[in-house]
């Protein structure tokens, strides 16, 4: 399959097997004054040779390896990185490269967007979740009290998405990313859903050309929606399908459940609620697809706890709970509910 070059505003997205080889050209064109790479210890050890190769080919001034996991995504890590950049005399014409999963992308983007009011930034996402979803759309952030409560919108100069990195993910990590791809399919592409249904074995077996296909399709869906509403004031909110419930599950379980799995349960419940409210009739199909990938569909906490947490979602407005629901596949609807209404619908659903 050819390598695709897509755009979000003036940021390039280079997607396809082998796209990593473009890094050197992109860096040369930017001609940065200094270069830093940020990754996590896990990725640094799995991709040691590849990183050495990159470092040799572009020459770097700072190599920052963080602990892996969501817990590093905080202000003290950001401070540490800012201080390293200052010490190494990074200027506004310098570049930072994020190399890792969603955590590294969010954090590197945040640092890049705030250091000297914004420096050059290249993102190289290495998990399926980051490649098919979180690296796209320019959101950066760190956690403070709540997840992603501090952050910016910042478009990288380039995002390089090479499905080769999927090879080293566990089945659980792979499924975690598939959950967001299913979400994109439900929102905007029945043919993507069919691909997931018909080829789940090959996808779980890490057939890279199929995985490349679903990543490309997922990215194009997200780009299309974002191009109409970058700052999430309107239509972009449909990308939160499964997320109001998903975020509440993450909070209730203190983030022990991975994001994609929480979204999976959120998708199952959004379908069930859509069935009651809008006559949506493909709940069984969606549950079936989630299950094909070993994703969970049952609430891991009591419904009343979930509703208390849903009230706190940062995307709510004037005390109402906003949910993205489905009239049909490819026909999402944004609905607002009072707490009482939500209690009634969720109470009536059998887990
Ligand atoms: P996300 O799942 O949101 O992308 P993380 O950045 O926390 O979130 O990545 C999840 C885990 O996967 C981390 O422990 C990270 O080190 C690891 N990881 C990232 N990329 C790869 C990869 N290509 N192969 C194996 N493990 C990876
Ligand atoms: Zn998500």
pLDDT per residue as tens digits for the range 201-219: 999 999 999 999 999 999 9
If one counts every other C-beta atom within 10 angstroms of the C-beta of residue 340, the result is: 8
Same domain, 176 and 157: no
Tally of structural domains, the chain: 2
Angle of CA points 235, 240, 245, to nearest 5°: 145
Looking from the CA of residue 260, the nearest atom of ligand 1 is 2
CA of 319 to the centre of ligand 1 (A): 35
For the cut 70, the answer to whether the pLDDT of residue 315 exceeds it is no
What one-character-per-residue DSSP string does 291-322 give? Answer: HHTT---S-SS-HHHHHHHHTT-TT-BTTBEE
Ligand in nearest proximity to the CA of 39: 1
Distance between CA atoms of residues 243 and 265, nearest Å = 9
Pocket of ligand 1 (CB under 6 A): 40, 42-43, 46, 68-70, 100-104, 126-127, 129-130, 134, 165, 168-169, 173, 176, 259
Q: pTM, whole model, 2 decimals? A: 0.97
> Averaging pLDDT over each range in 54-58, 146-150, 337-341, which range is the top one?
54-58
Greater model confidence, 313 or 278: 278
Q: Which of 43, 134, 137, 140 to mutate to test the pocket of ligand 1 (most atoms within 8 A of CB)?
A: 43
Q: CB-hemisphere CA count at 13 Å for 140?
A: 23
Same domain, 114 and 236: no
Choosing from 168, 195, 215, the residue where a domain stops is 168
Same domain, 140 and 58: yes
Choosing from 168, 202, 229, the residue where a domain stops is 168
Averaged pLDDT for residues 127-133: 98
Residue 140 belongs to what domain range?
Answer: 4-168
Same domain, 62 and 78: yes
CATH number at residue 116: 3.40.50.1970
Q: Which pLDDT value is given to residue 351?
A: 64
Same domain, 182 and 248: yes
CATH number at residue 268: 1.20.1090.10
Same domain, 237 and 287: yes
CA of 338 to the centre of ligand 2 (A): 24
Same domain, 157 and 244: no
Same domain, 281 and 334: yes
Same domain, 20 and 56: yes
């Amino acid at each position: 399959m050819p390598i695709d070059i897509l755009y979000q505003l003036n940021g390039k997205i280079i997607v396809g097997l082998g796209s990593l080889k473009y890094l050197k050209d992109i860096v040369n064109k930017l001609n940065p004054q200094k270069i830093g790479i940020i990754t996590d210890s896990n990725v640094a050890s799995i991709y040691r040779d590849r990183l050495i190769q990159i470092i040799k080919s572009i020459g770097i001034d700072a190599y920052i390896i963080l602990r892996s996991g969501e817990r590093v995504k905080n202000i003290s890590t950001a401070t540490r990185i800012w201080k390293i950049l200052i010490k190494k005399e990074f200027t506004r014409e310098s570049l930072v490269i994020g190399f890792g999963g969603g955590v590294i992308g969010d954090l590197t983007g945040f640092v890049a967007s705030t250091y000297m009011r914004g420096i050059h930034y290249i993102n190289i996402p290495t998990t399926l979740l980051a490649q098919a979803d979180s690296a796209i759309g320019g959101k950066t952030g760190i956690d403070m009290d709540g997840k992603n409560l501090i952050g910016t919108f910042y478009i990288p100069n380039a995002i390089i998405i090479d499905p080769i990195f999927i090879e080293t993910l566990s089945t659980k990590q792979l499924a975690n990313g598939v959950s967001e791809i299913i979400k994109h399919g439900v929102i905007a592409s029945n043919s993507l859903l069919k691909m997931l249904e018909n080829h789940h074995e090959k996808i779980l077996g890490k057939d890279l050309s199929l995985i490349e296909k679903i990543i490309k399709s997922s990215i194009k869906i997200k780009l299309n929606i974002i191009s109409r509403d970058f700052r999430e004031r309107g239509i972009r909110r449909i990308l939160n399908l499964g997320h109001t419930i998903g975020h509440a599950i993450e909070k209730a379980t203190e983030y022990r459940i991975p994001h994609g799995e929480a979204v999976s349960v959120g998708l199952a419940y959004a379908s069930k609620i859509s069935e009651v409210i809008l006559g949506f009739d493909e709940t069984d199909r969606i549950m079936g697809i989630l299950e094909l990938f070993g994703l969970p569909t049952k609430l891991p906490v009591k419904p009343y706890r979930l509703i208390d947490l849903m009230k706190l979602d940062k995307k709510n407005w004037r005390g109402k709970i906003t949910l993205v629901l489905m009239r049909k596949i490819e026909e999402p609807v944004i609905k607002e509910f009072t707490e009482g209404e939500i209690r009634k619908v969720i109470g009536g659903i059998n887990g």
